[in-house]
Each structure stands twice: as C-alpha cells, then as structure tokens.
Structure 1
Amino acid sequence: MLKLTYIETGFHLELLAKSLEEWIAMRVILALRVGECICVEPSTASFLLPANLLGLDLLEAEVQQQGTDIIALSACDAEYVEVILKGTWLASDLERAEGVFVAVLSHSSEFFLLKLWQEAQISASVVSE
C-alpha cells in the first residue's frame, strides 16, 4: 500500500506492508482514543514526476499492462507527468489540504512508483543546491 502524507509544505510518499483495511481501522481507533475527529472518504490524489526521469517509460508500460483505473499517468507539459491515484483520504478536517492518502496497487507498481519518486526527490535536491 502506498501512503502519501500531505502537509503544508509538500508531501511524503512511503510504502506500507499493512492491508488498507487494517491500516484505516488502526487510524480510526487511534483518533477515537485520543478524541480527535477523523474523516475517511474515497478520493483521488496526484503528484508530479519529471518527464525525463529514467524508468518513467517502464511505469507507463506497467500502468497499461494492469489495465485498472487505480493509477493513471497524464502529460502535463514537456517537463512533468502527473501521476493520478484512486484511493482513500483521511484527514481531521476536510476543509484543510493536510491529511493522508492511501492507495493499493500491485506490489511491483507500488515499489517502482516509490523508487521513481525518490529519484525525483534526489534530482530536485541536487538541482536546488
């Protein structure tokens, strides 16, 4: 399962070994125990990857091979490709842009997408230095 944590300054992507149902149940129980509101709803999330990222063509091939609507790729412009995921949004307040998005893909797609995102982060930090 992929977990995207959206915060005010950006987002973080990570791979989780738990099932979607188990992870959501644990988050809801935690919120109830600490007296915090939690909103859980089906949603979509997206993020950008550089269009010149090595391996992006392999992700495109895997997305086409899967033939599901859980993940889609869309060319934004000459520099970026948008990765669009269907999954579940969890937040303490639906009016805010901060929260956690989780999606379940094939293990190989999840791992590959994580590696591409990490490569994009490394490239971005090298360029900004």
Structure 2
Amino acid sequence: MQITSTKEHTPMDPLAKPLRPQLEDAIVKARDLAEQAAQAAQAALQHLGVGDADAPPHLTDSERALRRRLRAHGRELGVLRAKPNIKWTKDRGKDVESAPWFPVFNSERINDHHLTLVEKRAARAQLAEGAVR
C-alpha cells in the first residue's frame, strides 16, 4: 500500500514495523545530542563572557578576538542591545504659556495625554481669540 500526499512528493511506503523502534531510538539519541551541544555552546558563551560588558581576565588573545566577533554578530542580530535612553518617569520640564494646553495641565508636561483633534482645534480657536494665555 502506498501513501501519497496532496503536495507534489514522491509516493512512499510506510515504515516497516520492525524499523519503527530503531527510528524512535535514533530520534531520542539525536535530541539528546542536540541538547548536549546546546548546553556546551551555552557554557562556551559564558566562559567567553559574551553577554558581559567587560571581557573576563582569563581569556587568551584568540579567545578575546572570538569574543569580539561574537559580540559584534550579536549586536547585528539585536541580541546584544544597548539599553535605550528612555526616561519612563514623569517629565519635569515646563510648557510655554503659548501652548494651547498650558492651562489644562498647569504648565506641566504630561507625555501620555493625547488630545483629540476636536480638543486641539478648540484650543487653537481660543488662542486665536486671545482667551488663553
């Protein structure tokens, strides 16, 4: 009996029952080897101090060169990013009196308050009339 797929592949016979345990064993061994390789790679990265800002003092010159290349590659991939210079706290600056929202917020800057278009037009109209200072 042949099984065909809807995609354009060559038809294949099912795997013989005596071979199925061998395939399962091969898959388990391959997964174990892949896990060991990933752990070894993680240990090597820790040894080289790739994630640290400063190189460990125990590295040889060739290890330092490898570390520099790995860090450059990590920055290109976005894995090693510099901390963004964002001030998440309240902005302590003051708005100028001519700003349409000056009286609304008592001259404080509120970064997360977004006026609607209607509010902006009304404030501009009041400013044009000279009602807002």
Work out whether the TM-score is over 0.5. no
The structure that has the greater radius of gyration is 2
Q: Give the structure-1-normalised TM-score.
A: 0.22
Q: Give the structure-2-normalised TM-score.
A: 0.21
Greater relative contact order, per chain length (Cα 8 Å cut-off, separation 6+): 1
Structure with the larger strand share: 1
Structure with the larger helix share: 2
